[in-house]
Amino acid sequence: MIQVHIDDRFEIDGLAIHIYEPQGGGFTKFYSPDGWHRTERTENMSTMPTTPFKIPRDAAGPLFAALGKLLGSVENPESLRRDYEAERKRVDRLIEAAIALIPVRR
């Protein structure tokens, strides 16, 4: 399974993004701008053998929003919560109406 590790690096004034996939036999595939590379697994994330993707810290928020939009997330969780609450009230009213139509046997 592909994994991502992000370091906040003051020396590059931004974020270093490592994309990798652990494999069997003590190896890991690392992704860099020029493709996948297979190497022996390292325990320390700071010694990854490939150059990470580097982005300015100010780009992290817009990148997160764009990925969320692409992958089906929401930009505003509070808005989603309001929508869920409204839907729940609607379903509660529907259930109450359906129950009211069921005749009671005595």
Q: Which of 11, 16, 4, 5 is nearest to 59 (CA)?
A: 16
* Domain boundaries of the chain, sorted by first residue: 3-73
- What confidence tens digit (pLDDT) does each residue in 34-67 have? 888 887 766 654 556 667 788 998 998 898 888 8
The pLDDT-based confidence of 103 (bands split at 50, 70, 90) is: confident
Three-state DSSP class for 68? helix
CB 29 within 8 A of CB 10: no
Between residues 85 and 52, the one the model is more confident about:
85
Mean pLDDT, the chain, integer: 83
